[in-house]
Structure 1
Amino acid sequence: MCGILVYTHGFRDVASSLRPFIQRRGPDYYGVKNLDNLTAESSVLSLRSPITPQPMVSGNNILCYNGQLYNNSYMDTLKVMETLSTTDDSSSRAKAEAIENLFSFEGEFAFVYIENNIIYFARDQLGRRSLLYKQNEDGIIISSVGEPGFVECLAFGVFYTYDMCTNILETHSASKSVYPPVSTTLDLEPSSEPIYVDNVLNTLKEAVSRRLVLPAPNTDVAVLFSGGLDCTLLAALIDDLLPPTSRIYLLNVAFENRRTNTMYDTPDRILARRSYEELMNRRMKLDGNSESNQRFVLTEIDVPYEQACAAKDQVVQLMYPNASVMDLSIALAFYFAAMPQDSSENPRIIFSGLGADELYAGYSRHTSMRNSELAEELQLDFSRLPHRNLGRDDRVISDQARDVRYPFLDKDFVNLALETPLCLKSDGVDTKIALRKVALLMNLPLVSTEKKRAIQFGARSAKMDPGSGRLKGKDGLN
């Protein structure tokens, strides 16, 4: 995880206000490269040795890169630099082909690349890393975080070019589509269902395995843990794949809610304790060793009302351009879940279950939809992940110097999910049918029956203030 801040010198004052946010994203290294009318800055969160200093410079070319690649060499930044710069053809077509090649890599990333007075910048196909920009007569500024006036970069193969000589910004689309449309297939043969479910399990396991790129064999990791179906599946798969000397921290957050006059025994806290017990029991059954109870660490994070209020302004800036009541309640939950605790054990790598609901019809509204209507809704849910969820979550979690990874948004898993028949998503009563069947295969019978509960309600980060009960999630912030 790194921070990106690139700007022409008309935006020096704006860059100064954003720099502390960029620095917090990557506390292990901070680099600056100055050109005549451009400055490129990068912070680095080191997740493997040795640290790769950024911005990376190759000849006259400069790269600021934030992310992880999973199907190439582990020298991610070098691989990206080579992909973008190793061409004898400097035409715009050749550069577009190089960027399109980069989009084909499986990984979670954003980049800014400077060559011959042209700035190229983009997020990965699904926009799993944040990148925003602002352009006016003063030039341009591109950053991992923003403030009013900034625009979030589009995803799904969109990249941008900015000509420093003419102050012209252009938007481009890659010619190839990585993802198929949501399948409208309604049913499948009963004999085929076990094959589909096995395929879902194996593909998800491979997605988790790819993301267990760790600094050392005994590295601990964490999971954003409500106790629900998606995060518990991830915790179990990580348990199966992680070396036995590593621990898995289950991060569960609960808020003091003054409106409901409740403390920390929230719905998600109660569920997390039950799912934690199921995970420990599963591990003991698998290896017959009572010491398996040391594998999982349920980390109960209690947030007093005053502490939540004190963090509000910073969280509002981090989540921008997202600016609704619902965005704030979700962002507060993730902000405190990722916050380092008093313990010296604070894993830098956090796994998120985001994407499962959008791909496998996990929301209650999906149960009222059938056939083509459900397929259309799922297509909409999938298409708005980059600007509705992913940019916001990256900005909020990364402010705590954490690297968040999304196995449910792995390219292979997404392709499989989009092509899965609708009968394995929702039948009008249950949601995420395929994932519930996977949970049964993994000896998680209790969690396989859990219904979806949004984090802001499960952790009670929504409507905490007295008198806020009539607010709606889509309402804007005052």
Structure 2
Amino acid sequence: MCGICCVVNVSNLQSALDKAVLGNLKKRGPNCSREVTKAVAGFNYHCFFSGHVLHMRGLLTPQPLEDEKGNVFLWNGEVFGGLKVGSEENDAQVVFDHLSKCTSESEILSIFSAVQGPWAFIYFQVDSHCLWFGRDFFGRRSLLWKFDDVEKSVMLTSVGALVVGTEHGQWQEVPASAVYKMDLKACSLLDSFVLMTYPWKYPSSKLQKSDLTHELRLEKFSSSVSLTMNASGLFLTAPVVPLNITIPACLPESKHTLGTQPSFEDLQPFLQSDKRKKIVHQLVDVLSEAVRRRIQYPPSKTVATCPSVNKANVAILFSGGIDSMILATLADRHIPVEHPIDLLNVAFQLKKPKKKVLTKNTKKCKTVLNSHPCQEEAKLGSAEAGDFECFNVPDRITGRAGLQEMQDINPTRTWNFVEINVTQDELQEMRQKTISHLVYPLETVLDDSIGCAVWFASRGTGAALLNNEMKEYTSTAKVVLTGIGADEQLAGYSRHRVRYKMSGLEGLVNELEMELGRISSRNLGRDDRIIGDHGKEARFPFLDEEVVSFLSSLPVWEKADLTLPRGLGEKLLLRLAARELGLTASAVLPKRAMQFGSRIAKMENGNEKASDKCNRLQRV
């Protein structure tokens, strides 16, 4: 993974890279940094490229990459399929080698259509004076842009920096609906920017991923930018199949008798059908392969010290819920047993519990605050910190139960359950200092809550049980697996039940289609910026192309049955897979959103709505 940046100016001025942006980029790519400037003789434009590399696989390869023709390439991604990349090869170099041979637009598009895995890129093709850039189909890697009318410049970067009170030239996320091209020669003559778009389309279909005219509102932040569809009508081929929208005339009534509280035994009757059991095993297989791809390539031993077997190379954002439990179980299949796995569990300080005491003077009961030293203990990561009631949040409770299940499945593995305790003072400090810059340009209460929770969790600093003693512990794993994408595809959110009750299966299908379509702008760019700030890489197995295609090919009733109670009907297919993998109580845990399970939502204004603009993200 990398921090990538490009500044293009079509006037005589050269724009400087903001120091705050540069600092954020360097944290994403701590292993090496490089800069390249391009000014083509006879043309009035300048390009500045900045690359910062987090070394993950193959040989350590500085960026930007430059070939003998003068082409320049910046890559923030991983190739998990589609192009052949050897175990000792660097995928940025492989992709660049392919691009350097391209002589047409269609050849360039075919390369990015083929790549399976998350990516964002910037590519300057010197012969054509064209700058190409974009994000993968799901937008799993962040890319922002900012246009400046005064300096006649455009900046592209993995991460920006929030400047309060500046309306001119604000950052926005590059929509993942297309790949973009700018003819810099033409832009310099026009003294403005024309963006040529190459949208994603599903294979063998006229269906386009989304309507760019609704997603791109360029006029609200720049008068010098125009958007146009490429004249040749070219497009990228989507790496997944479109969603199965089949709706049956009627469904057979469920014959299963369930108690008021679902238990994992209630899943067993659903597995008696050979057809359903086959689908469950297909899901396990495709998801297992997705996890394997994401943990198989450590940095080359020729350029990096071989990791100690006592240090984990892979960490999982871990609540003990079904998504993280599935990832832990499948990671256990593919990671050598002598290597630990870090389970990162975050909790935000609850309000101090109250107790009643009898005063000497009045002999009456008065309410006083209990005096747990939560803040000091949490900062020290002491042995008792995780046991204090003020950090005994729902995700901590289910996380410990999940840890016990994992230990039962594989007692020979070291499972490092990292208890990450966050006080209100530390939350406020780090939000203002760092997190607000990373969440930006998103700005809602939900973005604040999830952004803060993911930042502290992925930092991995807390306490863990080592040699039967709680000690301070910081995860060294560069790879962080997260379960995002499961709820969006398998009807895991409460709003899916609401939509089903209102509009039936048709309404549910429409909701799921919308969920996957907006995941780039709603979740993934933000999470990539947040996790990347620690010099770690977010990986999303549930959004692997093969996993998404498999789930999208199934009719909705094979994935969820919202006539069944919570903890069973939502994500039913995944719960059945969990049962086949040997999971027990965690297989029927109801969905609990991270902001509620970690209790960060309780630390702030309880009357806020998730969609409200969050004033706490605005730096003073």
> Is TM more than 0.5 here?
yes
Query: What secondary structure, in the 3-state scheme, does the structure 2 residue paired with 1:7 have?
Result: strand
Q: Which residue of 1 aligns with 2:124?
A: 114
Counterpart pick for 1:40 among 30, 46, 49: 49
Q: Do the aligned partners of 1:463 and 1:471 also contact (CA within 8 Å) in 2?
A: no
Query: What secondary structure, in the 3-state scheme, does the structure 1 residue paired with 2:282 have?
Result: helix
**Cα distance change of structure 1 residues 11 and 409 upon mapping to structure 2, 3 Å threshold:** farther
Name the aligned partner's letter for residue 90 of structure 2: M
Q: Which residue of 1 aligns with 2:109?
A: 99
The whole-number CA distance in structure 1 between the counterparts of 2:193 and 2:38 is 19
Q: Residues 262-314 of structure 1, C-alpha deviation per residue, up to 9 Å, x if partnerless?
A: 72110000000000100110114xxxxxxx1x421100100111000001122
- Once the two structures are TM-superposed, the CA of residue 256 in structure 1 deviates from its matched residue by 1.2
Q: Which residue of 1 aligns with 2:22?
A: 19
Counterpart pick for 1:152 among 162, 169, 173: 173
Q: Do the aligned partners of 2:77 and 2:117 also contact (CA within 8 Å) in 1?
A: yes
Structure of greater Rg:
2
Q: Which residue of 1 aligns with 2:7?
A: 7
Query: What secondary structure, in the 3-state scheme, does the structure 2 residue paired with 1:145 have?
Result: coil
Q: Which residue of 2 aligns with 1:85?
A: 100
Q: Residues 190-233 of structure 1, C-alpha deviation per residue, up to 9 Å, x if partnerless?
A: 44111111111111011111111223685621000011000110
- Once the two structures are TM-superposed, the CA of residue 78 in structure 1 deviates from its matched residue by 1.0
Q: Residues 18-39 of structure 1, C-alpha deviation per residue, up to 9 Å, x if partnerless?
A: 0000000011101111222221
- Once the two structures are TM-superposed, the CA of residue 420 in structure 1 deviates from its matched residue by 1.6
Larger mean CA deviation between 60-69 and 171-180 belongs to 171-180
- Once the two structures are TM-superposed, the CA of residue 17 in structure 1 deviates from its matched residue by 2.8
The whole-number CA distance in structure 2 between the counterparts of 1:283 and 1:175 is 43
The whole-number CA distance in structure 1 between the counterparts of 2:318 and 2:543 is 17
Name the aligned partner's letter for residue 160 of structure 1: Y
The whole-number CA distance in structure 2 between the counterparts of 1:206 and 1:414 is 13
Whether 2:415 is the aligned partner of 1:276: answer no
Whether 2:151 is the aligned partner of 1:68: answer no
Using the size of structure 1 for normalisation, the TM-score is 0.92
Q: Which residue of 2 aligns with 1:300?
A: 419
Query: What secondary structure, in the 3-state scheme, does the structure 2 residue paired with 1:32 have?
Result: strand
The whole-number CA distance in structure 2 between the counterparts of 1:411 and 1:110 is 16
Counterpart pick for 2:298 among 211, 214, 219: 214
Name the aligned partner's letter for residue 274 of structure 1: A
Larger mean CA deviation between 44-53 and 212-221 belongs to 212-221
Counterpart pick for 2:589 among 444, 450, 454: 450
Counterpart pick for 1:415 among 521, 544, 549: 549
- Once the two structures are TM-superposed, the CA of residue 240 in structure 1 deviates from its matched residue by 1.1
The whole-number CA distance in structure 2 between the counterparts of 1:199 and 1:354 is 20
Q: Do the aligned partners of 1:84 and 1:95 also contact (CA within 8 Å) in 2?
A: no
The whole-number CA distance in structure 1 between the counterparts of 2:609 and 2:475 is 38
Q: How is 1:338-349 mapped onto 2 (pairs within 5 angstroms)? A: 338-341=458-461, 343=473, 345-349=475-479
Q: Do the aligned partners of 1:269 and 1:459 also contact (CA within 8 Å) in 2?
A: yes
The whole-number CA distance in structure 2 between the counterparts of 1:260 and 1:308 is 20
Query: What secondary structure, in the 3-state scheme, does the structure 2 residue paired with 1:472 have?
Result: coil
The whole-number CA distance in structure 1 between the counterparts of 2:194 and 2:426 is 41
- Once the two structures are TM-superposed, the CA of residue 13 in structure 1 deviates from its matched residue by 4.3
Q: Residues 314-363 of structure 1, C-alpha deviation per residue, up to 9 Å, x if partnerless?
A: 21221112110011000000000111425364111100100000011111
Whether 2:612 is the aligned partner of 1:475: answer yes
Larger mean CA deviation between 143-152 and 273-282 belongs to 143-152
Q: Do the aligned partners of 1:200 and 1:438 also contact (CA within 8 Å) in 2?
A: yes
Q: Percent identity?
A: 32
Larger mean CA deviation between 273-282 and 170-179 belongs to 170-179
Q: Do the aligned partners of 1:259 and 1:463 also contact (CA within 8 Å) in 2?
A: no
Q: Which residue of 2 aligns with 1:243?
A: 336
Q: How is 1:171-190 mapped onto 2 (pairs within 5 angstroms)? A: 171-173=197-199, 174-185=235-246, 190=273
**Cα distance change of structure 1 residues 82 and 95 upon mapping to structure 2, 3 Å threshold:** farther
Larger mean CA deviation between 356-365 and 44-53 belongs to 44-53
The whole-number CA distance in structure 2 between the counterparts of 1:113 and 1:259 is 53
Using the size of structure 2 for normalisation, the TM-score is 0.71
**Cα distance change of structure 1 residues 118 and 463 upon mapping to structure 2, 3 Å threshold:** farther
Larger mean CA deviation between 440-449 and 214-223 belongs to 214-223
Q: Which residue of 1 aligns with 2:194?
A: 169
Q: Do the aligned partners of 2:132 and 2:182 also contact (CA within 8 Å) in 1?
A: yes
- State the number of aligned residues: 462
Name the aligned partner's letter for residue 163 of structure 1: D
- Once the two structures are TM-superposed, the CA of residue 258 in structure 1 deviates from its matched residue by 4.4
Larger mean CA deviation between 9-18 and 440-449 belongs to 9-18
